[in-house]
Amino acid sequence: MRSDRIKKGVERSPSRSLLYATGVTEQSMNSPFVAIISSFTDIIPGHIGFRDLERAIEKGIHTGGGQAFLSSVPGVCDGIAMGHKGMHYSLPTRDLIADMIECVVEAHAFDGMVMLTNCDKITPGMLMAAARLDIPTVVVTAGPMMAGMHRNKRRSLVRDTFEAVGQVSAGTMTETELCALEKEACPGPGSCSGMYTANTMACVTESMGMSLPGCATALAVSGKKRRIAFESGVAICEAIKNNVTARQIMTRPAFENAIRVDLALGGSTNTALHIPAIAHDAAVDLPLETFDILSRETPQICSVRPGGEDFIEDVEYAGGIPVVMKELKDKIHNLPTVAGITTHQSADASRNDNPDVIRPASNPFKKEGGIVVLKGNLAPDGAVVKQSAIVPEMMKFSGKAVCFDSEEMAMERILKGDVKAGHVVIVRYEGPKGGPGMREMLAPTAAIAGRGLQNSVALITDGRFSGGTRGPCIGHVSPEAMECGPIALVQDGDTIHIDIPERTMRLDVDDAELAKRRAEWKAPEPKIKTGYLVRYAKLVSSAGSGAILKD
């Protein structure tokens, strides 16, 4: 066992002495040492229920014959960090989490890991560490929260708080109603109740084979989730016994399964950052174009908020990810999973209890997947858009640019009413380097929707979007403005043409004029000049390659 290096031999007597000090018994010295990597915190709703799940995992590990050790990593709530300086730090925590896990697991020579996670950057950070370390690993995502309820109508975070801010500014909602909604939109523990980034990443994790069947959608408040946590503890001991390591699960075909399920669900565009980054640590070549290739042949068979009207709990009650894979079965590779069964076996054991929520592939909501990649002279290295959240009449759009060099500038003008129908809002210097940290743009996109402009205004940014964004919002524009990408050269009044079916985005300015503007361009002063983000900005790659930190 890996852990023998800290517990076997005369020379390891000091290590054993320290282990005995923690309460490890002499008998347990012969057991596999298993790390429970938890991101418990009191400030993220998706993580406040972890103490119970940690205990369930620990019981499962001991039942399976292992010795459990709890270790922690930090987490950031994107919803709380949104719209201010805090969001600069969100994406960079993904790489910090992966690095911290690597350090702790290698330093203590653990034989395997159970990772307890839930929210946006934390799940991909943990998966990056699993891929990098390549030891037996099982991931437990802690589950979605139930939908909120107000005036006998189900509610969700994005439409009933973020978009409501825009409605108040437009005068179509009172502040009293907003205050009532904010108390009910998020009713308790769990990741937010739509197909936002946290739940999308949970579904990606299960469909990749790194979680037990049913884990992704089992509600945070359910006994089912606790049973899955216990069974995950047992499963890691079997994986250690059989030496089933993370890279044996996280293969190129497994990443393709994950992308297909993501596309079928109409999931968050953030997966176009996270899946390539995880693949990079797994030594799997997975270019951004993979999303578009698979999207053209993968139907969207779920329509969950923000793009649709269903909630993640509806997907759970319909049968969860095993049913999604069953409906896509001819496109899903039959691969091993951490459960000891294959993806097809998991799918075959499921039953679709609501074909209106998880539709058959023969009757999809849309013929193509939820995410597509656009290219053109405005984004030579690519940009990403969630077409599942766009109405048909906005799939082709031309408009006049209104340019802002920060999210705050854009938000102020949107709320003032300066953004009108027919505008293409450009928000730049918000990329991985320019942000720094590639902030999510949920506040301005929600304000646009709240003011009723989501079907007449487009937004383009080198930043990124929350999984809660809807409307023609194009992110991850590469190269970013801080690298003098073409988005830095756009001027107010320029015409921009967007054609999502053709996968193009074009700035209607000739090459000679762009060359002149490029020669006159000067990089702005960095927004943040001290601390971790300065180092991050120097190392981070473009969004087109997953915003990974360069070796």
Residues identified as active-site: 466
**Can you name the residues that pair with 430 across neighbouring β-strands?**
none
C-alpha 57/C-alpha 54 separation (Å) is: 5
The 3-state secondary structure of 287-342 reads CCHHHHHHHCCCCECCCECCCCCECHHHHHHHCHHHHHHHHCHHHCCCCECCCCCE
Which tokens sit at 419?
A: 């953004």
Most distant CA atoms of the chain, gap in Å: 76
Contact in structure between 194 and 24 (CB atoms under 8 Å):
no
CB 58 within 8 A of CB 70: yes
Question: Is residue 52 within 8 Å of residue 87, measured between CB atoms?
Answer: no
532: number of Cβ within 10 Å: 15
Is residue 523 within 8 Å of residue 479, measured between CB atoms?
A: no
Task: With CA atoms as reference, report the closest residue to 517 among 400, 403, 374.
Answer: 403
What is the rounded distance in angstroms from the CA atom of residue 312 to the CA atom of residue 118? 14
Q: Identity (one letter) of the amino acid at 60?
A: G
Cα(104)–Cα(425) distance, rounded to whole angstroms? 44
3-state secondary structure of 374: strand
Contact 157, 192 (CB under 8 A): yes
- Using DSSP's 3-state secondary structure scheme, residue 472 falls into coil
Find the angle CA(301)-CA(303)-CA(304) to the nearest 5 degrees: 135
436 prior amide bond cis, ω within 30: yes
Q: How far apart are CA 197 and CA 497, in angstroms?
A: 28
204-217 CB burial, b ≥16 within 10 A, e <16: bbbbbbbbbbbbbb
CA 482 to CA 464: how far, in whole Å?
15
CB atoms within 10 A of CB 67: 23
Helix axes 271-281, 197-208, angle to 10 degrees: 40
**CA gap 215, 310 in Å, rounded:** 19
Cα 429 to the center of its chain, rounded Å: 22
CA distance 146 to 199: 12
Question: Among residues 479, 143, 417, 468, which one has the least CA distance to residue 308?
Answer: 468
